Amino acid sequence: MNPPRRGEIHLGELLTVLAKLQPGDAATARAIAASLGFGLSAPDIATSTKESERIYDRGQQSARRQTRRLAEKKPPGLAAPPRSPAPVDLPAQKLRATLKAIDPQSPTALPEKPAWISSGYQRLDLRRTIPLPRANLFPARTVRGVFTAALSTPRAGEQLDVDALLRHLIEGCLPRALPRLPEETLARGCQLLLNFSDSMLPLWEDLRHLSQQFVDVLGRERVSVFEFDTLPGDAHCWPPERDDPVPWQPEPGRPVVVATGFGAPGRRVPRFAGDGWHDFVGRCARQGSPLNILIPWSPACWPSDLGPHARLVHWHERTSAAMLSRRTDRAGAWPR
C-alpha cells in the first residue's frame, strides 16, 4: 500500500489513536472523542424537540417554506387600546355657590324702537349711478363691417356700364336708359326680428344692445324692430301711434335679420328647425328679401335644414366681414 499523504487523517488512524490512549472511564473517552471531532453516542431522539428533516419529501419542505414566508410578511397587529382610567369619586361635602341672583330689567329700561319699524313700505332706488361695463357680442371695431357685408343690396350706381352700352350699339337697339354699374348700398335698411323667449333670457340685454347697434349704423328710420317668442313668422311690433301690435310682413327686396338661438343648445348633433322655420324662410325667398340669422351658440348647435337662402351667422366677437363675404361667395349670389 501507498503510505497516506501527510495532512490527511483517516478513520482508521483515529481508531488507532483511541486504542493507544486507553481512557480509564467512559467520560474521558467521550472527552477525547469530542476533541477529535466526533461523538461516541447517538443523541436521544425522544427528548429532542427538533423535527427531523425529510430529505425526499419536497412538497412538505416547500409548504413549510411558504408558511414561514407568509409569517414573515404578515404585518404586526394593532395593539389593544388603552383602558380608560377609573372614575374619580366626587367629594361627599357640598360647596357653597358664589352666584348672585340678578333682578330682571324693567320695561322702561329697554331701548326704544327705531322709527323705520313703524313706518310704511318704502321702495329702494335701484338705479345705479355708474353703469356696469358690458362687452357687446359684435365689438364696435367690427360691427359696421359685419352689418355692411350682411345687409348691403345692389342698386344702379353713377358709373356707366360701358360693356352693356357697346353690346346694345352692336345689336342695333338703343336702350331706354343708360346702363350703369351696380353698387352696394344700405339704403333699404332691414327688418330686425328679436327672440325674447325664455331660452334667450341670458341674452336679453345683448338683444337690446344689438338693436341699438343696428340703429347706430343704419339710422333709426331704416330699422324696423319686431319681437317674437316662438317662431319669427309670428313676430310683431308696437308702433307709438297705435295701441294694437302690428304683425310682421316681409317687404320685397328688404333684408331680414333674425337673432335667435333655436332653443337652448343641445348635444353636438345635427338639429332641425321645423316646418315653422321652413315657411318663414320660404316667405322671405318669395319676396326676394335676403335673410341673415344670428345665432349666439357654436356652429355645432345650428340647424342644417334651412336651405341656401338663409345665411347663418355666428353672433360672436370674432365674426368679421371677411367671413360673411367668403360664405356668400361659396353659396353663390344672393337673390335680389
The range of the structural domain enclosing residue 215 comes to 143-154+185-331
Q: Looking at the domain assignment, is residue 93 inside a domain?
A: no
- The number of folded domains in the chain is 1
Q: Looking at the domain assignment, is residue 23 inside a domain?
A: no
Look at residue 329 in the predicted model and tell me its pLDDT: 46
Radius of gyration, CA atoms only, the chain: 53
Smallest CA-to-CA distance from 214 within 241, 230, 194, 242 is with 194
Look at residue 120 in the predicted model and tell me its pLDDT: 74
Pairing, β 153-160 against β 236-237: unpaired
Q: Looking at the domain assignment, is residue 89 inside a domain?
A: no
Q: Looking at the domain assignment, is residue 132 inside a domain?
A: no
List the pLDDT tens digit at each of the 336 positions of the chain.
566 555 677 777 777 777 777 777 777 777 777 776 666 565 555 555 555 555 555 556 666 777 777 666 556 667 778 888 888 888 787 777 778 777 776 656 667 777 777 777 767 666 666 667 778 889 989 999 999 999 988 877 778 888 888 888 888 887 888 888 878 888 899 999 999 998 899 899 999 999 999 999 999 999 999 999 999 999 999 888 777 889 999 999 999 999 999 886 655 555 788 889 999 999 999 999 999 999 999 888 888 889 999 999 999 999 998 888 776 544 433 333
Q: Looking at the domain assignment, is residue 266 inside a domain?
A: yes
Q: Looking at the domain assignment, is residue 251 inside a domain?
A: yes
pTM of the model: 0.56
Look at residue 102 in the predicted model and tell me its pLDDT: 78
Look at residue 157 in the predicted model and tell me its pLDDT: 72
Quote the CA–CA distance of 167 and 160 in Å, as a whole number: 13
Q: Could you tell me the CATH number of the domain that includes residue 201?
A: 3.40.50
Look at residue 74 in the predicted model and tell me its pLDDT: 58
Mutual angle of helices 26-36 and 11-21, in 10-degree steps = 150
